[in-house]
């Protein structure tokens, strides 16, 4: 009986007018990012949403991310400008060649209906390269809008971002040379491959 109620609740949500389809634009919310160096220092900030469409009934949609709207936070203005300029280069997102990234949602399945929690399977495209990305997200109605919140991460080595990777060739040699030179903070220059992402979106 309990299982039947949960299934009924899920289909009721899918068939409600608001849940059938939702659209997003630059005012729909934000995406937060965070990168971490092996030495412990973190860089974080936001990145803009350009557009998006999502249909809960079919479990499909896509979110277009504006790679030219990446903004570091928690640092001086001068440092933020330098970091933004670096992130836009081929070392990272090559943003002027690839001004958008795309999260193509392939399926959405209920994980915990009581908490509006869903398992989302998607393809994340950055710099023209795509890789699977699966994560949990809460999807619920707020007034006449659909709110989506969640977090995930991506491996930057899958998207031709070779700058200071954890497994970069020569890291052992760099460490040895640094120790010989008496430099204790060599790890600060190595960036972890996994970049954390969180998002809070609300449809138009």
Residue listed under structure tokens 């994560």: 135
Q: How far from chain centre, in Å, is Cα 34?
A: 9
Domains of the chain by range and CATH? 2-202 (2.40.128.110)
More confident: 179 or 39 = 39
What would the mean pLDDT of 4-14 be, rounded to a whole number?
47
Confidence of residue 166 (pLDDT cuts 50, 70, 90): confident
d(CA 102, CA 129): 10
pLDDT over threshold 70, residue 85: yes
pLDDT tens for 29-79 read 989 999 998 877 899 999 999 999 999 889 999 999 999 999 999 999 999
> Distance of CA 39 to CAs 42, 158, 184, 187, 192, Å?
9, 23, 10, 5, 10
Say yes or no to pLDDT of 15 above 90: no
The DSSP-derived string for 60-119 is: EEEEEEEEEEEEEESS-HHHHHHHHHHHTSTTTT-TTTS-EEEEEEEEEEEEEGGGTEEE
pLDDT at 181 over 60: no
Q: What are phi and psi of 171, to 5 degrees?
A: -65, -40
Count the alpha carbons within 13 Å of 124 in the hemisphere toward its beta carbon: 17
- The region that residue 59 occupies, defined by phi over 0 for left and psi between -120 and 50 for alpha, beta otherwise, is left
Is residue 193's pLDDT more than 50? Answer: yes
More confident residue, 9 or 82: 82
Angle at 58 between CA 56 and CA 59, to 5 degrees: 55
| pTM of structure | 0.80
């Amino acid at each position: 009986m309990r299982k039947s109620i949960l299934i009924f609740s899920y289909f009721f949500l899918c068939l409600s007018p608001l849940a059938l389809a939702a659209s997003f634009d630059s005012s729909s919310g934000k995406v937060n990012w965070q990168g971490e160096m092996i030495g412990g220092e973190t860089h974080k900030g936001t990145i803009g949403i350009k557009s998006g469409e999502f249909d809960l009934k079919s479990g499909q949609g896509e979110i277009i991310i504006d790679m030219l709207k990446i903004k570091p936070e928690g640092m001086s203005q001068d440092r933020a400008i330098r970091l933004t300029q670096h992130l836009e280069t081929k070392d990272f997102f090559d943003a002027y060649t690839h001004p958008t990234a795309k999260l193509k949602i392939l399926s959405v399945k209920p994980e915990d209906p009581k908490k509006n929690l869903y398992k989302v399977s998607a393809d994340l495209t950055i710099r023209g390269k795509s890789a699977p990305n699966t994560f949990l997200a809460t999807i619920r109605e707020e007034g006449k809008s659909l709110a989506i919140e969640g977090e995930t991460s991506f491996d930057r080595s899958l998207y031709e971002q070779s700058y200071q990777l954890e497994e970069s060739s020569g890291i052992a040699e760099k460490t040895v040379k640094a120790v010989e030179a008496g430099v204790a903070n060599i790890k600060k220059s190595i960036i972890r491959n996994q970049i954390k992402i969180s998002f809070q979106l609300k449809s138009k």
